[in-house]
Amino acid sequence: MSVRDLAVVTRFGGRLYWRDKVALSTSVALSLGLGIGMPLLMDRLGQGDPEFLVGTHVGVLVMILTIATFNQIAVTFTARRDQLLLKRMRATGLGDREILGGEIGNLVVQTTLLAAVVSVALYALTGLPVPRNPLLYLAAVVAGTAVLCLLGTAFTAAVPRTEVAGVMAMPFFLLAGVASGGFGPLLELLPGWVGAVLGLLPTEAVADLARTAYAADGSLAGDLRAAAVPVLVLAGWAAFGLLATARWFRWEPRRS
């Protein structure tokens, strides 16, 4: 893989990202509105004890990461595939890894910045505490966005055309919100086996890492032990995303 080509595609994706009105209204505006608005509302309603705010923040964070990565990259790659832009990029001599990796890198950067803005705004406007282990919190966001981008890339193989990409990706967003508590304590109303299954989602692994980073009592050794299982879950999903992308990703629209 050429680092120079990867950087070129990443910059190209960034320019397109900030010129895309759909991306700005969904990934950016919706993420900022939801990520800041929901915890702020809970704080203003008098539910702003730190533990409750951390739970709300982590749940909503997982939802905005899903919107800005899995959903966004599914729409982006499907649109570029249908517009034959991916095919043209391959014709320039860029490798497949640079094309896909550049866009994934772009969304990892953009989404990490969105998460940082949301977090800093909540630290300033609410009683949300700063993570006890900020490096673990950052690692959870970066690793989670990368894995979700990989899975969104693989998911495009199942999307027949651009118009339905967002709709088809929405169930994953809803499952992520239920599993992480972003929609409230809905999981408590469901059978135990449902919670066990949803706990295997990559978004729940991200939530577990973020909760560990915010935990008031802990040590480096304790954090490493708590992070072991979520990291393995993310690694497993990353491997699946890479294999599925290599096997099924389509560079051209289906022929009718």
Radius of gyration of the chain (CA): 18
Q: Report, as an integer, the average pLDDT of 75-104.
A: 92
- What is the structure's pLDDT at 139? 96
Task: Determine, yes or no, domain membership for 195.
Answer: yes
Helix boundaries (H) for the chain: 3-19, 21-23, 29-42, 50-66, 72-82, 85-91, 96-125, 134-155, 165-180, 192-198, 202-214, 220-248
| Burial letters 10-46, b for 16+ CB under 10 A, else e | bebbbeebeebeebeebbbebbeebbbebbbebbeee
Q: Which of 144, 151, 195 is nearest to 169 (CA)?
A: 151
| Domain annotation covers residue 13 | yes
Query: Using CA atoms, how far apart are residues 138 and 143, in angstroms rounded to an integer?
Result: 8
Residue 40, C-beta contacts closer than 8 angstroms, at least 6 positions apart: 122, 125, 126
- Note the pLDDT of residue 107: 95
Q: pLDDT at position 66, please? A: 95
User: What is the per-residue pLDDT for 193?
Assistant: 85
Instruction: Name the residue range of residue 207's domain.
Output: 3-248
In the predicted structure, residue 256 carries a pLDDT above the cut 60: no
pTM to 2 decimal places: 0.93
Q: Report which secondary-structure segment, H or E, holds 26.
A: none
* CA nearest neighbour of 107 among 31, 55, 43, 177: 31
Query: Buried b vs exposed e over 92-106: b needs ≥16 C-beta within 10 Å?
Result: eebeeebbbbbbbbb
Q: Which amino acid is at 199?
A: G
Mean pLDDT of the chain: 90
Q: Cα–Cα distance between 152 and 171 in angstroms, integer?
A: 13
Is 219 inside any structural domain? yes
DSSP 8-class letter at 254: P
Residue 254 domain flag: no
Q: Which residues of 142-162 are buried (b: 16+ CB within 10 A; e: fewer)?
A: ebbbbbbbbbbbbbbeebeeb
Please report where in the chains the tokens 């939801």 appear, as a residue: 34
Indicate the SS3 state at residue 14: helix
Kindly report, residue by residue over 107-143, the tens digit of the pLDDT. 999 999 999 999 999 999 988 999 999 999 999 999 9
- 70-74, 98-102, 121-125, 180-184: range with lowest mean pLDDT: 180-184
Look at 5 and 145; give whichever has higher pLDDT. 145
pLDDT of res. 157 = 94
Contacts of 147 (CB under 8 A, 6+ apart): 202, 234, 237, 238, 241
Identify whether 256 is part of a domain. Answer: no
Residue 253 domain-assigned (yes or no): no
Domain count, the chain: 1
Percent of the chain with pLDDT over 90: 60
Tell me the pLDDT tens digit for each residue of 26-64: 888 889 999 998 888 887 776 667 888 898 899 999 999
Residue 101 lies in a domain: yes
Task: Tell me if 200 is assigned to some domain.
Answer: yes
